Amino acid sequence: MDERKIAIQVKEVEKAYKLYDKPSDRLKEALGIWGRKRYKEHYALKGVDMTIYQGETVGIIGTNGSGKSTILKIITGVLNATKGTVEVNGRISALLELGAGFNMEYNGIENVYLNGTMIGFSKKEIDERMDQILEFADIGAYVYQPVKTYSSGMFVRLAFAVAINIDPEILIVDEALSVGDVFFQAKCYHKFEEFKKMGKTIVFVSHDLSSISKYCDRVVLLNQGIKLGEGSPKEMIDAYKQVLVGQYPLPEEDDSLLNDRELRAAVGSGELKEAAPETEEDRIQNPDLLEYGTRDAVIEEYYVTDEAGRRCSAVLKGAQCCIHMTVRFLADIGEPIFAFTIKNIKGVEITGTNTMVEKAFLEPVKGGSVKHITFTQKLDLQGGEYLLSLGVTGYEKEDFQVYHRLYDVLNLTVISDKDTVGYYDTNSVIRVTDQQ
C-alpha cells in the first residue's frame, strides 16, 4: 500500500453537457411538460481516475478535445463534475486562464491585491509578496496604469507573476509557460524548476513533449474524454505518438463522446452556457481569418493530412504531412501560382513555398476548372503552435495579381520530444572522437 500523502484524488469523474435540439425543448423539460428526455449528452470526460501524491510532478497529455483542460478546471473548482469526486489537499494556484479575475479599469497594483484576495490571501500576506511579484512581472511604471492600457504581453506577465508568486502547495499549469518573450519564458521555467526542487505538487498540461519528459515524474494520457493509461513520461509519450498516427488501440466509439457537431450547434444557439470542450474542427479553422483578392480563383477547401492520409491538426516533428487546397477558377488565368506560408503565433514567417519557386505547375487554367493542390513535406519545425496561410496569385502581363489569399486560416500543432535552438531543427549528425 502506498503510504505517500495524497495531494489530489480524482475518482470516476464524468463531465456531461446536455444538448437540446431547440430552446423550447429545454423549457419544456424544465416545466415537466414532457416526461421523456429532451436532450442528448456529450461527455467531455467519462470515468476518469487519477491519484496525484504530494511532491509529484504529473503531466497530462492528449490531443485537442481529449479533456485535459476540463479535468484541470474540475480540480480547481472552475467547473463542477457531473459525476464522481475530487479531493484536494493543499492550497492551489492555477495557471489556467491568466488574468481572468482582473478588473480592466484597475491599475496593476490594485489588480494584484484583487487577485490575491480572491485566492485567499490577506492584505498583509500580499504586501509581503508585492516586491517579488513586481520584480517577476518586470513591467516598470506601467504597474501604476490601468490594465486596459497594457499590451497583451504586459497583461500576461503581471497575471503570471501574481499566480506563481503566492507560494502554493499545489501548482496547476495549463500551457501557461509559453507566455511572453523568450526571456520571460526562461524566467517562468526557472520558477517552475524551483517549485519542483521545493517538493511542491505540480500538475502540468502541455503539447511540449520535451518539457513533459524533462519535468514530469509520471504522465496521464487522455483521449476523447477517456483515460487511456498512465506511466513514465517515455511510455506515455510513445503511446501518444501512436494515438496521433491512429495506431493505438482506442476504446470502442461511444455516441455520447462523439456529438461534436451537435455540441457546436448547442453552443452557437446559446443553449450550452458552460465552457464546452474544444472540437477538432473548431480548433484548426480560424473564424476571424483575413481574406482578400479579385476572386477570379477561389480557395474552396483546405486541410492538412498526416502520413496515413487522415485529416489532422497535429503532426509529429519530422513526420511527413500534406497541405491540401482545392481551388475553383471563375475566369481564365495564364499561370496561377499556388502558395502556403507557415508562421509562428507571434506572426513571424518561418517557412513556405509556392508552385512557381518549385517549378511544379506552370500552365494556363480555364475558367470553370477545379484544381486540387497538395504540398507534401517533412516538418522539422520545433514543437509548438503555428498558423498556416494559403494563396492563389499570378501575373497578368507584368502586373502581380492576388486572386485569393487566406491568412492564418488553419492552426497546426507540431508535437516534439526534442526541441533544438531556433525555429527549425537542422537534424545534425554528430560524431565525437578522440584526437589521434
Q: What is the pLDDT of residues 270-291, one digit of tens each?
A: 333 333 333 444 345 666 678 8
Report how many domains make up the chain. 2
For the record, the C-alpha cell of 36 comes out as: 421523456
**Same domain for 238 and 350:** no
Using CA atoms, how far apart are residues 382 and 348, in angstroms rounded to an integer?
14
The average pLDDT across 234-245 equals: 81
**Same domain for 289 and 222:** no
More confident position, 313 or 80: 80
* Helix H or strand E encompassing 17: strand 6-20
Residue 181 reports pLDDT greater than 80: no
Residue 110 reports pLDDT greater than 60: yes
The average pLDDT across 418-426 equals: 79
Tally the residues of the chain.
436
Distance, C-alpha 140 to centroid of its chain: 30
pLDDT band at 261 (very low <50, low <70, confident <90, very high): very low
Which domain covers residue 57, as residue numbers?
6-90+169-244
Residue that terminates a domain, selected from 190, 224, 244: 244
CATH assignment of the domain containing 25: 3.40.50.300
**Same domain for 379 and 303:** yes
Long-range contacts, 231-238 (Cβ 8 Å, 24+): 233/59, 236/59, 236/61, 237/61, 237/209, 237/212, 237/213, 237/417
In a domain, 114, yes or no: no
Using alpha carbons, select from 250, 233, 186, 317 the residue that is nearest to residue 57: 233
pLDDT band at 395 (very low <50, low <70, confident <90, very high): very high
In a domain, 149, yes or no: no
- DSSP letter, residue 277: P
* Helix H or strand E encompassing 192: helix 182-197
Contact yes or no for 342/352 (Cβ under 8 A)? yes
Distance, C-alpha 112 to centroid of its chain: 27
Backbone torsions φ then ψ of 350, nearest 5 degrees: -95, -45
pLDDT digits (tens, 9 = 90+) for 331-345: 999 999 999 999 987
